[in-house]
Amino acid sequence: MLNGVAAATASITSYSNGTLTYVNNGVSYQIIFGGMAASVGTSNFAIGSVAAIEGGNASTFANNLVISYVPCFLRGTMIATPDGERPVESFRAGDLVSVLEGGARVARPLIWTGGQTMRTGEFADPGAMCPIRIRSGAFADAIPHRDLLVTPEHCILTEAGLVPARMLVNGSSILIDRSIPDYAFFHLELERHGILLSEGLATESYLDTGNRGVFASVGATDRPMVIAAPLAVSRALVEPLWNRLFARAGLLGFAPTQASFAVTSQPDLRLLLDDGRELGACLHHEHRHMFHIPQGTRPLRLLSRSAIPAETIGPFVDDRRTLGVAVDRLVLWAGLDGTVLAAADMNLGGWHPHEASGRWTDGNAGLDLPKAGSDTFLDVHVAATMFYRDEACMAG
């Protein structure tokens, strides 16, 4: 039973880094699990909360983060056909387009076209919904032959496989275009998922994962989901490609549009007490942080710096979670008596699902601890930290 959504059975389309994408009754949903148990099977699941997206409108339940999957071309994108290029918005079902198959161009009919409008200001993080601009020549000479605008999840065919455009952003030849807050987007569907030429660049056609309700058009029947090329989202595959494109951007003289920032690996771990005070560690040695809790107070939350791996490490890391610290365990000391609290058992807000390396917080994780008596200490064993933006260094 979904809390706040009248649905219980759905078709799962993907699961990565704690983010589940599924479709129910034509509605595309995404859930980022944090501090809740989840059991994911091939077609059925039960969770405690969900964020829903339908027709470009987002609804959030239980404070979950909403990320929309809308892989499309923007208005004006020129698509190759046997008779030359045409703007994407001009196509209708039955029209022929050029498709790359086995290294050759073949003519294939469209079976469905769709379009909708995106208003990024309606989302909690408007920048995440802004289009990606791929500069002319970003991939090779005259490829693309004009600037190409696509939505962040639209996949580009590369030597690594199909890579979402957002993972190739380098701030110079491939960038988030924040100057376009509202835009019309379109997609073209073939009988089978295929590779189109958009402004001369090989990009995916529409893949029906059940999000057809996002578009203002109807048609086509449900078919098994078969992709035209392997999806490449692992760092091992994408980072070398990203490095090559970034180096090419420098050779072409594309100026960076993103400011650099200082980073630190220090998490600035603190406890938020029930009287409103923030308490720093009285002792820090390697991975252990010891806090002396004042008598009569109770720790409510474990606070730290936080960062998104795709931002502080690089977009070639397919992890858009907000991560604080990975905690192995906590030990509550009352005098000489120590009580071990496993991070895996922390089921309050602010905790990501448990992993082999520990359990990541989001930088503001709930604690369920008693009021402190005399000589009470909390020993936090940190398994891993992140690279965080060093705001103090940047301000200096």
* Domain chopping of the chain, boundaries: 11-60, 73-252, 263-395
Give the span between the Cα atoms of 235 and 311, in whole angstroms: 14
Q: What is the pLDDT of residue 248?
A: 98
Tell me: the pLDDT tens digits for 263-300?
A: 899 999 999 999 999 999 999 999 999 999 999 999 99
Judge residue 179's burial from the number of C-beta atoms within 10 Å of its C-beta, 0-12 exposed, 13-18 middle, 19 or more buried: exposed
Strand (E) positions, 234-387? 263-264, 270-273, 278-280, 283-285, 288-293, 299-303, 326-334, 337-342, 351-355, 358-361, 364-366, 376-384
Whole-model pTM?
Answer: 0.76
- CATH T-level fold of 73-252: Endonuclease - Pi-scei; Chain A, domain 1 (2.170.16)
In this predicted structure, the answer to whether residue 357 has a pLDDT above a threshold of 60 is yes
Give the span between the Cα atoms of 75 and 268, in whole angstroms: 46
Portion of the chain with pLDDT greater than 70, in percent: 77
Q: What is the pLDDT of residue 55?
A: 34
How are beta strands 132-134 and 278-280 bridged, if at all?
unpaired
Q: What is the pLDDT of residue 375?
A: 84
Tell me: the pLDDT tens digits for 148-199?
A: 999 999 999 999 999 999 999 999 999 999 999 899 999 899 999 999 999 9
In this predicted structure, the answer to whether residue 382 has a pLDDT above a threshold of 80 is yes
pLDDT range class, residue 60, cuts 50, 70, 90: very low
- Contact yes or no for 74/131 (Cβ under 8 A): yes
Percent helix, strand, coil in the chain, to 5, is 10, 40, 45
- Which of 367, 354, 383 has its CA nearest to residue 37? 354
Give the span between the Cα atoms of 208 and 253, in whole angstroms: 38
Backbone angles phi, psi at 252, to 5 degrees: -85, -10
